Amino acid sequence: MIKKLKYALLSALAASMLNACTLSPMSEQPKSSSLNSAIDQSFFEKRAELITKYSSEDNTFAALQTEQRLATTYPSEYWRWRIDQYLYGQYPEYQPIYDAFTEGKQFNEIYDLPKESLGKKWVKPTKLPAIPKAAFTDNLPGNAYTGWHQLVGNKIYTVYQGHLTDPYVASYDLETKEWDGPYKAGHSTLSKGERKIDSHGRPIIEVDNQGYVHIVFGGHGGEREDGLNPFSIDTPHAGGRMTHVVSAKPNDLSKFIVKDDITPFASYTASYKMANGDIYFFTRAGTHKSPWVYYKMKNGSQTFEPPVKITWPTPQKNDPITVDTHYINPLKVSDTEIVITSLWHACNFNETHDKTNYGRLNLYYMKLDTTTDTFYNAHNEKLNLPLTLADTNKHTLAYDSEKAQEISFGTKPLILDDGRTGAAYEARGEGYREWRMALFEEGKWTHGHPMPGTVNQVVHEENGNRIKRVYSLQVIKQKGRSATAAVAYRNAKGENVFGIAKQISASGDSKKWQIQKTHFSIAKAKIQMSPVKNERGDVVALIINVRKGKAQRLYLWHDGEFRANL
C-alpha cells in the first residue's frame, strides 16, 4: 500500500511537471550527442509532443519520468531508453519518428550507457562427475531438459542446446538403429563473449510435409543493436536473438539457411504441426513485459506469417511501474486444437524480482481452433485478442491462487483419458510445492485435484520393497490388463534410478508395478524423461536427461537399450 501511494504521488508530481524545464525536449538529449542540433531538437520536440498527448490518460509516462529524474535505481539515460521503448511499443505513431532519427546509428550513439553486462562468463568445466555412458550428445550447458523432438516415419529428429547454447540436431532411424549427426544448425548470440549460459532460447524442431527441417532457437530479448521492439513495451535487456533456420534440402541436416521472418526479440520456444501440415510457433515477443504471440507457417510454405498477439501487458493504474503480464504454455491436444494455459506475472520496470514467488499467480485456460484460428475459453465463448489481465480474469480464469493466498508457479495443459477438460498448476506455499489439477465440469472449474496417474500408483523394487519416491512413470506398452512402464525413481540407497517395470495388478485407479530391470543407478543426479510417440499415441522410444553437477547428457532408450551415438 505504501509503495502504491508513493508512486501515485510521484506520478502526479511528474505529470504536473511535464512542461517544466527538467523534462524539456532538449534536456532529454544524450550528453555525448554530436548530432546536428536542428535535427536533434526537432526529434525531441516531436517526442515530447507525443508524450504530452498520451499522458493525459496514461500515467505510465509520469511514473517513468519520475524514475528518470530521481535516477536512484538506474541512470537517467537508462530511463530515457525505457521511455522510448514504452512509447514505441504502446503507441506505434512514434515508430517512424524514432526510426528516422536513429537510422544508421549504433546503440551507444543514441544512449550514453555503459557496456551491457549479462552475468558471469561461462567457463568450461575441467572435470565432470561421472554419469552413465551411451549418451547421444556431448556435455550440455544450462538447465536440465530433454530437448525437442519430432517423429517422422521411422526417424526421430531431435534438437538441443549444445556448446555455448548453439543448436545441434541429429536423427535416429528406428529400423536401422543408426544415427545421423549431430550437426550444428546455427549460431546463437545468447551466451557468447562475456556472458553466462542462458537456457531461454532452447531450440525447437519441426519437419514440414515437404521434408524441410525447421529449427527456431537462441532468443532471450534480442540485442541492443537490434533497436527498439515494435511488439513490446519492454527493452531488449536480456540478450540473445531468436532465429529461424530451415534445411537447404528436404530430410537433410547438413546445411541450414537463416530465415528473416520472426522477431529477434523473442523469448521461449514451443511449436506444433497440425494434421493439415500448418505449423504454429508460440513465443513471448520480447523480455518480461511483452506480449505472447504465435506465428503460423502454412503447409507448403517455408516462412512464418506475421505474428498474432495473444496477450498484451498492462501497467497497473495505481502503480504503473508494475506491469501485469502472462506466462503461457501451449499443447497440441488434437489434429485441429491447441490448448493454452497461462499464469499472471507481475513484473516491474525496475527489474526487481522477488525470488520467493517471482510474482506468479493464478491459472488460466483457453484453446485455439486452428481450422479458423479462433480462441475460445472453457465455456466455448469466443475470445477477442489480445487479452489483458482484466480480460483473462473475466473470461479464462480457472483457479484464483491469489484468493487462496498461494503461488501458482507454473501451469500446463492436460490430456485426460476420459475426455474431461483439465489443466495443471504448480501450487507453492509455506512448506509445500506440488502439482495439482483443475477440472472443468458442469460449466465450472474446481481445483485441488490430484494429478492424473498419481493416485494409488504403487511401485516396488526388484527386491519387493515399496519405492517411496517416484519421479516419473511412463507407460510404454499396454495390452489388455498387461502393461510395461519406464520409471525414474529414488531407491533405498538414495540413488536415482532408471528402470523398467511391469504392472502386476490393476483395480480401477489402483495400480501396482514391479521393477523388472534397472538400467542405471546414480547418486546425486537428476533424471528427466520425454516419450517419443507415434501417430497412434504409442511410445516408441524415450529421450532421457541425466544431470549430475555440471555433467549433463541426453540418452535415447529404444527397443530395451540405450542407443549411443558413437
Nearest-angstrom CA–CA distance, 158 and 207: 11
**Distance set, CA 218 to CA 56, 66, 116, 195 (Å):** 39, 35, 18, 14
End-to-end CA distance of the chain: 61
d(CA 244, CA 231): 18
At 24 the pLDDT is 53
Rounded CA-CA distance 453/468 in Å is 15
CB contact at 8 A, 205 and 217: no
**262-272: pLDDT as tens digits:** 999 999 999 99
Question: Per residue in 171-218, pLDDT tens?
Answer: 999 999 999 999 999 999 998 888 889 999 899 999 999 999 999 999
Local structure of residue 380 (DSSP, 8 states): -
- Distance between CA atoms of 75 and 30, rounded to whole angstroms? 12
CA distance 304 to 527: 35
- Cell numbers representing residue 342 in the block: 497461462
Each residue's pLDDT tens digit, 141-163:
999 999 999 999 999 999 999 99
One-letter identity of residue 13: L
228: its cell numbers: 527498439
Per-chain mean pLDDT for the chain: 91
- pTM flag (> 0.85): yes
Instruction: State percent of the chain over pLDDT 70.
Output: 93
Sketch the domain layout of the chain as residue ranges. 2-110, 312-452
H or E element that contains 76: helix 76-90
Angle (nearest 5°) at CA 212 between 207 and 215: 60
Given the C-alpha cell 511501474, which residue does it identify?
A: 321
Q: How confident is the model at residue 35 (pLDDT cuts 50, 70, 90)?
A: low
Cα-based angle 348, 350, 356 (whole degrees, multiple of 5): 65
Q: How far is 457 from 474, CA to CA, in rounded Å? A: 12
pLDDT at 566: 74
Residues assigned a catalytic role: 200, 268
The conformation of residue 163, written as its DSSP 8-state character, comes to: G
Strand 510-523 relative to strand 526-533: parallel, antiparallel, unpaired?
unpaired
Cα atoms in the Cβ-side hemisphere of radius 13 Å centred on 500: 15
Give tens-digit pLDDT for 314-368: 999 999 999 999 999 999 999 999 999 999 999 999 988 776 667 899 999 999 9
